[in-house]
C-alpha cells in the first residue's frame, strides 16, 4: 500500500471550527505503508525536538523518550512501544485515523488506551498542522504514559469525561479546558525552573521556545476551577500557561466529583485567555506582545 491516506468520513462545523471527522475505529498501524519521506519527516522532527528539549522539557518526559528508545530510526512501531507500556503502567497505544468524537476518546482513556493518529504530516508542514498527527500524538503524549502518576491522571480524566458527557455541553467545555491547559499546554515548576510537560508544546519547535522564553504570555499557578473557567486559543501560541507543582497535584485535582464545580462555573462568565486575576499565583505577567484580541475558544 503506497501513500495510504486516513479515512475521513465527513467534515463537521463545531465550536472549534470546521474540522475533519474520521472513521472512529481502531486500526492496525500500517507500518509497511510508510514512505521514505514519512520516516524522514519523523527523523527531522525528532532531531529538532531532541536537541531543543533538554533543559526545557521536564525530566519525566525526557526519560520516557529514552526508555521507549525513540530515535532517528524512522517511525516507531506501536507494537514495540506497547510491550514496554504493558510491563510498566499498563497503558496501550491504539492506532486511529485522526481526531475522535469526545465520547470515543474518553472511553479509550478511561480504559488506559491512548489513541494515536497513524499518519504523519508532510514535509511542508513541519512547523504547523491544524490537527494532531503521529508526531504530535506519539512523541508529544506517549512518553509521559510511562510515569505512573501522570498515567493515572490520564485515566481519571477519561472517566471524568464519560461523566461530563452525561452532564451537558458546558461541563464538557470545562473539562476540555482542563485537558488543554494541562495535557496539551502545561508547564511544571521544578527546582531548576519551569519545564514543559504539555504535548502541544513539546511537539512544537516554536512553542517549546516561546512558552518558556518569551515575555509575552502569562505564566500562572494551576488551579482546577481557574483553568476550567479560562478560554483558550487554538490558532496561536497560548496567552496563558498554567504551572503545576507536580503530577500529584494534577491527579489530586481530579479526585473530587466535578458535578458541583460544573454547577458553580455555569453561573459565571468564563475568563478570557489572557486575563490575570487578583487571586492568581503569578510567575510572569505577560507583556501581551503580539496577542490577537478576539476569538478565544
Binding interface with Fe ion (CB under 5 A): 132, 199
Going by C-beta distance under 8 Å and a sequence separation of 6 or more, which residues neighbour residue 248? 149
184 is catalytic: yes
Alpha helices in 102-234 (DSSP H): 102-110, 134, 148-167, 169-179, 199-202, 205-213, 224-228
CA distance 252 to 256: 8
At residue 90, φ and ψ (nearest 5 deg) are 80, 10
Q: Which is nearer to Fe ion, 200 or 217 (CB)?
A: 200
Q: Which is nearer to Fe ion, 26 or 215 (CB)?
A: 26
229 is catalytic: no
- Shortest spacing between CB 137 and Fe ion, in angstroms: 6
Q: Phi/psi zone of residue 13: left (φ > 0), alpha (ψ -120 to 50 degrees), beta?
A: beta
- Shortest spacing between CB 180 and Fe ion, in angstroms: 9
Q: Residues 108, 184, 211, 229: which is the catalytic one?
A: 184
Are the beta carbons of 254 and 160 closer than 8 angstroms? yes
| Residue nearest Fe ion (C-beta atom) | 199
141 is catalytic: yes
Q: Which is nearer to Fe ion, 132 or 274 (CB)?
A: 132
- Shortest spacing between CB 53 and Fe ion, in angstroms: 17
Output the nine-digit C-alpha cell for 295: 476569538
Q: Which is nearer to Fe ion, 83 or 235 (CB)?
A: 235
Q: Which is nearer to Fe ion, 129 or 167 (CB)?
A: 129
For the chain, how far is it from start to end, CA to CA, in angstroms?
A: 39
Element (H, E) at 37: helix 36-52
Are the beta carbons of 60 and 150 closer than 8 angstroms? yes
Neighbours of 62 (CB within 10 A): 18
Q: Residues 60, 117, 203, 207: which is the catalytic one?
A: 203
- Shortest spacing between CB 266 and Fe ion, in angstroms: 26
Output the nine-digit C-alpha cell for 154: 490520564
- Shortest spacing between CB 292 and Fe ion, in angstroms: 22
271 is catalytic: no
Q: Residues 141, 207, 211, 229: which is the catalytic one?
A: 141
Distance of CA 2 to the CA centre of its chain: 30
Q: Which is nearer to Fe ion, 76 or 132 (CB)?
A: 132
- Shortest spacing between CB 81 and Fe ion, in angstroms: 16
Active site residues: 136, 141, 184, 203
Amino acid at each position: 500500500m503506497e501513500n495510504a491516506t486516513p479515512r475521513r468520513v465527513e467534515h463537521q462545523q463545531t465550536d472549534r471550527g470546521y474540522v475533519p471527522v474520521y472513521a472512529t475505529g481502531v486500526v492496525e498501524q500500517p507500518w509497511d505503508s510508510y514512505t521514505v519521506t514519512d520516516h524522514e519527516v519523523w527523523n527531522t522532527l525528532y532531531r529538532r525536538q531532541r536537541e531543543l528539549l533538554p533543559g526545557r522539557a521536564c525530566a519525566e518526559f525526557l526519560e520516557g523518550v529514552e526508555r521507549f528508545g525513540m530515535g532517528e530510526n524512522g517511525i516507531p512501531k506501536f507494537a514495540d512501544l506497547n510491550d514496554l507500556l504493558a510491563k510498566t503502567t499498563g497503558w496501550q497505544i491504539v492506532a486511529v485515523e485522526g481526531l475522535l468524537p469526545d465520547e470515543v476518546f474518553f472511553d479509550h482513556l478511561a480504559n488506559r488506551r491512548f489513541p494515536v493518529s497513524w499518519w504523519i504530516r508532510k514535509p511542508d508542514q513541519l512547523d504547523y498542522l491544524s490537527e494532531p498527527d503521529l508526531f504530535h500524538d506519539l512523541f508529544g503524549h506517549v512518553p509521559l504514559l510511562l510515569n505512573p502518576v501522570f498515567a493515572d491522571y490520564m485515566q481519571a480524566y477519561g472517566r471524568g469525561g464519560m461523566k461530563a458527557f452525561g452532564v451537558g455541553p458546558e461541563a464538557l467545555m470545562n473539562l476540555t479546558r482542563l485537558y488543554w491547559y494541562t495535557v496539551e499546554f502545561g508547564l511544571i515548576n521544578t527546582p531548576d525552573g519551569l519545564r514543559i510537560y504539555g504535548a502541544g508544546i513539546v511537539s512544537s519547535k516554536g512553542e517549546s521556545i516561546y512558552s518558556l522564553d518569551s515575555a509575552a504570555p502569562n505564566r500562572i499557578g494551576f488551579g482546577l476551577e481557574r483553568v476550567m473557567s479560562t478560554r483558550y486559543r487554538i490558532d496561536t501560541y497560548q496567552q496563558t500557561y498554567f504551572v503545576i507543582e507536580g503530577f500529584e497535584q494534577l491527579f489530586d485535582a481530579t479526585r473530587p466529583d466535578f458535578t458541583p464545580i460544573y454547577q458553580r462555573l455555569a453561573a459565571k462568565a468564563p475568563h478570557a485567555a489572557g486575563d490575570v486575576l487578583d487571586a492568581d499565583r503569578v510567575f510572569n505577567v505577560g507583556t501581551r506582545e503580539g496577542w490577537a484580541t478576539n476569538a478565544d475558544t
